A and B are shown apart, each in its own frame.
Chain A
Amino acid sequence: MRRRSHILRHLVMALVCALMLIPFYWVAKTAVTNENIYAYPPRILPLKPHLYNFVDVWYLIPFARYFANSVIVSLIAVAGNIVFNAAAGYALTKNFAGKRIVVLLFLSCMLIPFQATIIPAYLVSARLGVLNSYLGLALPLLSTIVCIFVFKAAFEAIPASLQQAARIDGLGELRILFRIMLPLAKPAIATNIILSFIWSWNAFLWPLIITRDVTMQTLPLGLARFLAYVEDTTGALYAFVCMVLLPGIIVFLMAQKEFIRGLTSGATKG
């Protein structure tokens, strides 16, 4: 009885997984297809698969430029997130006047989707003079509320006796943070890196609004642009999609645990 229910469940799960994976397969297949991709009926297995579509993409668009822009913006965002969130998370482990208000402020900010702020955010960036710059691209992503709470929880889990021992040894607050707290909060750092990386890597609407030059465009923008002006019967567009998706998939598979931990710890915080 139990066995049979297990087999049934495996079958259902296999089906669900197949449904989840088919889109990936279809695009990967199209990316290596040799013939006209619009031919009907499409082949399930490509006839003479080749990788030259990827070469075409490389020379059709400034892929390296987009990639480098994406990497730079993500690096700025990740660095900012680690520094600012760790600092804010550490501050929140202290008692101070107005702490409740600050926490409440953070929690309510979590409910404001960034997409609901685009018009003024654009105007703010214009006033700051960071339109069309790496800093401007990364600025709204420099700190993440979820990650602040991840750090706060990690710091609070560290036994207070460790901090006290350090204080008695005469370490200053900054040294305590760097020597004791941060090394013990490595999982929180990892969560921070992965969350902020994926969010800035995938960001589309904000770069769409504040970049003007092609030279400042990030990968998602490049992809949308390519879609708009290439009507091709080869799989070049889908090769591009694969080149964009692959880094994301690799990063996710590498750091799945940290990513899920970050998302769920944010979720349980309301």
Chain B
Amino acid sequence: MNTAPSQRAGAAGSADAVAPPVRAADWYRRKRTREAMLVACFLLPSLMIFFLYRILPLGWNVILSFEYWSPLKAARFAGLDNYAEMFLEDDVFWQALTNTLIFILASPIAILLALAVALAVNSDLKGAAIYRTIIFLSYPLMSVAVGIVWRWLYDERGGFINFVLRGTGLIKEPIPFLQSFGWALPSVILADIWQVVGFYMIILLTGLQSIPQHLYEAARIDGAPASARFLRITLPMLRPSLFICAVIGILNSFTAFDLVYVMTGGGPAHATELLVTHIYNMGFGETRFDYAAALTVVQFTLLVILTFLANRAVGGNAGSVESA
């Protein structure tokens, strides 16, 4: 941008900047504006993207949710009609809401599993890095592919799970997991846990490794048993990590769209319908953008409330906004 030589001493950003030699005040002001320009130019692209695809949509959702609107018709104020329809008439919404809550409430299971694994991997175990890699491997993979993998595992005839259950004599007849009303949701949740458990583990491992060792040594000298060390030191110190895991679990009810779409498509009879799949179906299946926006508002509110509750549950300001 500016390659003019000299006169660049003392950036405002560096705390221990050397005091610039006394110069004309207008030069100083020019330098200030130049730096402000630079900051603005550097921030602008990112801010634009987040404005266009995060902040603006959030507001637009709220506006749309109070309107009758479709791509070809002019908007008309609808008051609370969309919400009234959702809460009073839309059975699928209630089903999807319940399923979403079940989905979120299942994440503590995954977090506990991940905690156990993280504790085992965190110690001086040989080959811990290999275990960690294998357990984490499923997380960065394409969810669509993972969904197809699990669909196949649940298959009635060629699937591994039915094969094992029948082979060990636990069941006589194959269970059509993804086609049965009762089994479909737990099956999808299991697949989801399989995919994200490695992520929880990594977060918890980072948390474990940030606990100062001297706390444990002091406790050991005091003769505290392992269980007490875990309850008094490990768990309290892990609270920020556990909070992050909880938030990921809540956000997961959004990101599980890929898995559900591929594994069951929301079926059978909406047994695995999540709010996010319902939003997609309403918006892009039936082109009811206004109603889908109202659904989104409800789900986002749910997300904020649950995040707030999770924050309270781990004792206040864990993971609060860090002062920049």
User: Are A and B interaction partners?
Assistant: yes
Q: How far is the CA of A204 from the CA of B304 in the complex (A)?
A: 24
The stretch from B101-109, B157-165, B179-187, B231-239 touching chain A is: B157-165
Q: Which secondary structure dominates chain B's binding surface?
A: helix
Does the CB pair A244–B142 fall under 8 Å?
A: yes
Which one of B1, B64, B145 has the greatest number of beta carbons of chain A within 10 Å?
A: B145
Does the CB pair A202–B52 fall under 8 Å?
A: no
Q: How far is the CA of A10 from the CA of B296 in the complex (A)?
A: 45
The stretch from A53-61, A184-192, A261-269 touching chain B is: A261-269
Among B9, B42, B141, B206, point to the contact of A248 (Cβ < 8 A): B141
Does the CB pair B134–A84 fall under 8 Å?
A: no
Does the CB pair B49–A84 fall under 8 Å?
A: yes
CB nearest neighbor in A for B265: A228
Answer whether residue B38 sits at the interface, using C-beta atoms and an 8 A cutoff. yes
Scoring A residues 146 to 190 as 1 if CB is less than 8 Å from chain B, else 0, what string do you get?
001000000000001001100110111111000000000000000
Does the CB pair A249–B137 fall under 8 Å?
A: yes
Among A117, A121, A170, point to the contact of B6 (Cβ < 8 A): A170
Q: Which of B238-262 contact A (CB under 8 A)?
A: 240-241, 244, 247, 251, 254-255, 257-258, 261-262
CB nearest neighbor in A for B34: A173
Range, interface on chain A: 35 or more
Does the CB pair B167–A118 fall under 8 Å?
A: no
Q: How far is the CA of A12 from the CA of B113 in the complex (A)?
A: 12
Does the CB pair B4–A172 fall under 8 Å?
A: yes
Scoring B residues 119 to 159 as 1 if CB is less than 8 Å from chain A, else 0, what string do you get?
01101011100010111111011111110111011010111
Q: How far is the CA of A256 from the CA of B198 in the complex (A)?
A: 13
Residues on B with beta carbons closer than 8 Å to the beta carbon of A171? 8
CB contact under 8 A between A13 and B125, given known A142-B49, A204-B143: yes
CB nearest neighbor in A for B299: A116
Answer whether residue B115 sits at the interface, using C-beta atoms and an 8 A cutoff. no
Residues on A with beta carbons closer than 8 Å to the beta carbon of B194? 20, 23
Among B3, B36, B142, point to the contact of A174 (Cβ < 8 A): B3
CB contact under 8 A between A117 and B35, given known A17-B135, A23-B194, A263-B199: no
Scoring B residues 19 to 55 as 1 if CB is less than 8 Å from chain A, else 0, what string do you get?
0000000000000000110110111011101101111
CB contact under 8 A between A20 and B137, given known A94-B13, A109-B50, A224-B144: yes
Residues on B with beta carbons closer than 8 Å to the beta carbon of A224? 144, 261-262
Does the CB pair B46–A20 fall under 8 Å?
A: no
Answer whether residue B56 sits at the interface, using C-beta atoms and an 8 A cutoff. yes
Residues on B with beta carbons closer than 8 Å to the beta carbon of A88? 42-43, 45-47
Answer whether residue B321 sits at the interface, using C-beta atoms and an 8 A cutoff. yes
Does the CB pair B134–A174 fall under 8 Å?
A: no
Residues on B with beta carbons closer than 8 Å to the beta carbon of A175? 3
Answer whether residue A219 sits at the interface, using C-beta atoms and an 8 A cutoff. yes
CB nearest neighbor in B for A238: B152
A83 CB to closest chain B CB (Å) equals 8
Q: Which of B287-314 contact A (CB under 8 A)?
A: 289, 292-293, 296, 299-300, 303-304, 307
Among B39, B49, B57, point to the contact of A91 (Cβ < 8 A): B39
Q: Which of A72-96 contact B (CB under 8 A)?
A: 83-85, 87-88, 90-96
Q: How far is the CA of A88 from the CA of B41 in the complex (A)?
A: 9
Answer whether residue A51 sits at the interface, using C-beta atoms and an 8 A cutoff. no
Q: How far is the CA of A244 from the CA of B324 in the complex (A)?
A: 40
CB contact under 8 A between A163 and B283, given known A116-B299, A269-B322: no
Answer whether residue B61 sits at the interface, using C-beta atoms and an 8 A cutoff. yes
Does the CB pair A102–B43 fall under 8 Å?
A: yes
Q: How far is the CA of A241 from the CA of B144 in the complex (A)?
A: 9
Q: Which of B169-203 contact A (CB under 8 A)?
A: 194, 198-199, 202-203
Residues on B with beta carbons closer than 8 Å to the beta carbon of A267? 203, 206, 241, 244
CB nearest neighbor in B for A26: B160
Residues on B with beta carbons closer than 8 Å to the beta carbon of A47? none
Among B52, B120, B166, point to the contact of A13 (Cβ < 8 A): B120
Does the CB pair A103–B324 fall under 8 Å?
A: yes
Does the CB pair B324–A99 fall under 8 Å?
A: yes
Answer whether residue B117 sits at the interface, using C-beta atoms and an 8 A cutoff. yes
- B residues near A (Cβ < 8 Å) are 1-6, 8-18, 35-36, 38-39, 41-43, 45-47, 49-50, 52-58, 60-61, 64, 117, 120-121, 123, 125-127, 131, 133-138, 140-146, 148-150, 152-153, 155, 157-160, 163, 166-167, 194, 198-199, 202-203, 206, 240-241, 244, 247, 251, 254-255, 257-258, 261-262, 276, 279-280, 283-284, 289, 292-293, 296, 299-300, 303-304, 307, 319-322, 324
- The contact sample of 11 A-B pairs, CB cut-off 8 A, is A40-B158, A96-B39, A112-B54, A116-B296, A117-B61, A118-B296, A124-B52, A167-B8, A172-B8, A248-B141, A256-B133
